[in-house]
Amino acid sequence: MKTTIAKLTIIFALMCVCATANAQDEPQIITIPLSHPDEPMSLDISIISAYIEVIGEDRADAEFTVQVEQGSRKIITPSGTKELTTGAYSLEVDEHDNHISVDTDWRMNKINIVARIPRRADLELSTTNNGEIVVSNITGSLQLENTNGPITASNISGSVIAESVNEHVDVSFASIDPDSAMSFETINGDLTLGLPAQAGAQLNIDATQGEIISDFEVDIQPSKPVVERRNDRGGVEVRVESVIVANINGGGPVIKLKTLNGNIHVKKSGN
């Protein structure tokens, strides 16, 4: 019942702001209590056009600062056409059993969200148009997807899967999960991966163009095509992939680095 009441209150508040946001031009701050404050949480944000920033802090709740960029609409009246600098929107923030989801109805207006949450958290963040994803100081499993914008993550402990199409991906770790494979992909951007100086990893590098730069000494392994076969109701799919295999500090979890038109830089965190 508490979750339902909180959700309805947040929707109402944001819809009321639509009429006054242009005059006040103030961001809305939403605080969400967690069902289990002493346990790790998870956060899911999927918005078509958004700046999404998630900051890990020493706290027991989650705080969201939300601001919608002004749109432009017209209204035709008997006396003529008038310009409107506002647009209706609604946004839902829902917490259940330490899982928070943030969703909005589709609008052209870009939404800026800054989330301050406990450090121990699993994240699923995605945006598509004219957006950006920024994450810092999080311990957990991160899935980050941004079609037309950059992805930046710093001081991460755990594992990350990050994918962009047209911008850079820059992820720096304080520590890595030795039991989790990771993947970083972009088509038209650069990849920058920061690892602790003593971290061991097996890099699977797929780079068509651009330079590959490593601050670590690497041990190049004999590479052979990897064949993946999947059977499902629709038939059989076979994919053959050949990559550069490079171990750093004796090897470790597999980290896939793939770019088509960008550079790859594997650096030591803090450098």
CB 158 within 8 A of CB 140: yes
Q: Give the contacts of 72 (CB within 8 A, at least 6 positions apart).
A: 83, 84, 85
pLDDT of residue 242: 67
pLDDT of residue 74: 76
- What is the rounded radius of gyration, in angstroms, for the C-alpha atoms of the chain? 22
Q: What is the DSSP string of 148-172?
A: SS-EEEEEEEEEEEEEESSS-EEEE
pLDDT of residue 10: 52
Q: Give the contacts of 15 (CB within 8 A, at least 6 positions apart).
A: 88, 89, 90
CB 235 within 8 A of CB 186: no
Encode pLDDT of 140-154 as tens digits. 999 999 998 999 999
For 107, phi and psi rounded to 5 degrees? -145, 160
pLDDT of residue 137: 98
Q: Which of the residues in the chain have pLDDT under 70? A: 1-25, 70-73, 84-89, 106-108, 224-229, 233-234, 238-242, 271
For 269, phi and psi rounded to 5 degrees? -55, 135
pLDDT of residue 24: 35
User: Rounded to whole angstroms, how far apart are CA atoms 86 and 74?
Assistant: 10
CA distances from 146 to 4, 131, 156 (A): 30, 7, 18
pLDDT of residue 71: 61
pLDDT of residue 81: 83
Q: What is the DSSP string of 65-82?
A: EEEE----EEEEETTEEE
Identify how many contiguous H helices and E strands the chain contains and give both numbers: 2, 24
CA distances from 2 to 7, 33, 132, 158 (A): 9, 10, 32, 32
Domain boundaries, the chain: 1-118
pLDDT of residue 51: 95
